[in-house]
Amino acid sequence: KMSSASGILEDEPGTLLFSELDDENFTNKTPNISKAPNEASLRKMFPYAKKRAFATFVDSKKVSASGSDSRSAQSDKHWQCCDQTFKDPASIHKHVARAHDLEIQEHTKAILTLLGSRGNVKECNTSAQPAAEEAVEVMDMQLWLPDISYLNEAELDGGPGEVLLYYCYCEVEGPHLICAWQKALCQKLHLKGKIRVATEGINGTVGGSKVATGLYIKAMLSHPVFKIMCLDDFKTSEGGAHCFPDLKVGVFKEIVPMGVDPDILSYRLAGTHLEPKEFHKEVEAFLSKYESCNDTILLDCRNFYESKIGQFTKCLAPDIRKFSYFPDYVDKNLELFRGKKVLMYCTGGIRCERGSAYLRSKDVCKEIYQLKGGIHKYLEHFPEGFYHGKLFVFDERYAIATGSDIISECRYCGTPWDQYQLCSTRFCCQLVLSCPACRQQGHTACCSVCQGKDWRQGEPEERALSDHRLKEECECTDRRPRVPCDAL
């Protein structure tokens, strides 16, 4: 089991005891395992365990020398430890060997204990290596869980809360291991939300107390796989765990479901990233000559119900219900984009990564730019800028605001209104803009067909049959294209 204070495995009956692995034995490179089961195998596995512990520790000190530019950061690394910077592997290795021997010993003890307790090393030969690797991977996951022993429940859950939105495109060799780590991390910090993991990276939004989200960010930035991230990659807004019904973490083919295999169309083909200030200047120039401008398009990559309650002035907002329809929209409107300069934006930036890559693959645009950090970051810099209305978010808040302007209206009476609620009809997941006055009159559904259904009449069995028969008879449903299956 894990010690919450140290993150190291505690003693368990019948396993390798920490007391048996004293400093003298570690200095001599051979642990005292005379009382442990499978002692010969564990003795032979000691060099492997110590090598893995050393490599994990060094990896934890790696940082990006290129800031937030993930593409250049991949090839420009250095290490920071004990207030020193090391620019080559040899120097950091020497430093860790000299200054952090005790930490390496503790990690090695933990790895050997795990191997012994799980019975993964019955014989030390090549066939035992995969099992040992699996065991150490589990150990690695535990090493990246934060220490919260100094916090009580009230400190972890209490106080102001917030919601984090982030993504990171990077190579993930073991997405299922990262998925398990994310589940354990969020459960430990009492966070709720949605996280997608794939071999191409991670995409998530989680909510909890600011203490918990702060520890979550720290854990993410310290993990070797996500070291290319920086603090600015996490967008924050007021909220908390109550903004999500539960925690969902899964492994998918894509971290944003566009329906195009990332092995065929990579995010690396994305357009040029513009900081919020640069994007603001581009939009300003576009609007200043809008009446005579025919060479620039300000493109909203989001769904219609998102752009309906908030958008940039004079944008092109496609009438699509899912991002997976975006490629089809581009294919049908290639002439619209031909020879044009395109300024793209979305909520947090992730859809533009794949969307701009797809548009670039068509080779029809003159230039393609995308808003780095999305509307979220833009509003931090320009709350009174060119974006008007609310920002739609995929949690139970539905929208967040930096201003009071309303650009949408109630679907029933036309009064200004921008607060979404779900259609009142079972099985219909459409969002409805219905003002309080109209809702009091019973106008709570997305369309006349849904509004005409009365689920309160009839016996339970009759209602169940009626549910099954009528759930696809909504006129909104009939208008919807079918959503491509999101492959796990």
Task: Indicate whether 155 pLDDT > 50.
Answer: yes
Question: Residue 485: its pLDDT value, please?
Answer: 35
CA distances (Å), origin 132, targets 45, 115, 117: 9, 7, 12
Structure tokens given for 448 = 């006349």
Burial of 203 per CB tally in 10 Å (0-12, 13-18, 19+): buried
Structure tokens given for 295 = 């060479």
What band does 203 get if pLDDT is binned at 50, 70 and 90? very high
What band does 139 get if pLDDT is binned at 50, 70 and 90? low
352 is catalytic: no
Structure tokens given for 97 = 């060997």
The hierarchical CATH code for the domain 267-398 is 3.40.250.10
Kindly give, in sequence order, each residue whose CB lies less than 8 Å from that of residue 400, ignoring residues fewer than 6 positions away.
237, 238, 390, 391, 393
What band does 12 get if pLDDT is binned at 50, 70 and 90? very low
Give residue-wise pLDDT tens across range 237-251.
Answer: 999 999 999 999 999
Instruction: Name the maximum alpha-carbon separation found in the chain.
Output: 85
Task: Round to whole Å and give the CA distance between 430 and 31.
Answer: 63
Average pLDDT, the chain: 80
Residue/partner pairs of 440-446 with CB below 8 Å, 24 or more apart: 443/412, 446/411, 446/474, 446/476
Task: Round to whole Å and give the CA distance between 107 and 109.
Answer: 5
In three-state secondary structure terms, 151 is coil
CA distances (Å), origin 354, targets 266, 320, 336, 345: 7, 16, 19, 12
Question: Residue 91: its pLDDT value, please?
Answer: 87
What band does 257 get if pLDDT is binned at 50, 70 and 90? very high
Looking at this protein, which amino acid is placed at residue 266?
S
Structure tokens given for 403 = 């201003």
Lowest mean pLDDT among 26-40, 187-201, 319-333, 426-440: 26-40
Give residue-wise pLDDT tens across range 420-448.
Answer: 998 888 777 788 999 999 999 999 988 87
Task: Round to whole Å and give the CA distance between 263 and 254.
Answer: 10
Percent of the chain with pLDDT over 70: 74
Task: Indicate whether 162 pLDDT > 70.
Answer: yes
Task: Indicate whether 40 pLDDT > 70.
Answer: no
Question: Residue 39: its pLDDT value, please?
Answer: 61
Average pLDDT over residues 70-84: 67
What band does 455 get if pLDDT is binned at 50, 70 and 90? very low
Task: Indicate whether 136 pLDDT > 90.
Answer: no
Q: What is the bridge-based pairing of β-strands 272-274 and 387-389?
A: unpaired
Give residue-wise pLDDT tens across range 258-306.
Answer: 999 999 999 999 999 999 999 999 999 999 998 888 899 999 999 999 9
DSSP state string for 414-483: --B---EEE-SSTT---EEE--HHHHHTT--SSSHHHHT--TTSS-HHHHHHHHHHHTT--HHHHHSPPP
Question: Residue 143: its pLDDT value, please?
Answer: 73
Q: Which CATH architecture has domain 138-251?
A: 2-Layer Sandwich (3.30)
Give residue-wise pLDDT tens across range 461-488.
Answer: 444 444 444 444 466 655 544 433 333 2
Task: Indicate whether 211 pLDDT > 60.
Answer: yes
Give residue-wise pLDDT tens across range 345-403.
Answer: 999 999 999 999 999 999 999 999 999 999 999 999 999 999 999 999 999 999 998 88
65 neighbors 73 (Cβ within 8 angstroms): yes
Average pLDDT over residues 320-327: 93
Read off φ and ψ for residue 336, nearest 5 degrees: -65, -35
Task: Indicate whether 148 pLDDT > 70.
Answer: yes
Q: Where are the domains of the chain?
A: 138-251, 267-398, 409-452
Place of tokens 């195998």: 41
Question: Residue 104: its pLDDT value, please?
Answer: 82
20 neighbors 7 (Cβ within 8 angstroms): no
Give residue-wise pLDDT tens across range 222-239.
Answer: 998 998 999 999 999 999
With residues binned 3-state (H G I as helix, E B as strand, rest as coil), the percentages for the chain, rounded to 5, are 40, 15, 40
Among the options 186, 346, 365, 410, which is catalytic?
346
Burial of 282 per CB tally in 10 Å (0-12, 13-18, 19+): middle
Q: Which residue has the higher pLDDT, 337 or 138?
A: 337
Give residue-wise pLDDT tens across range 104-118.
Answer: 887 777 677 666 654
16 neighbors 112 (Cβ within 8 angstroms): yes
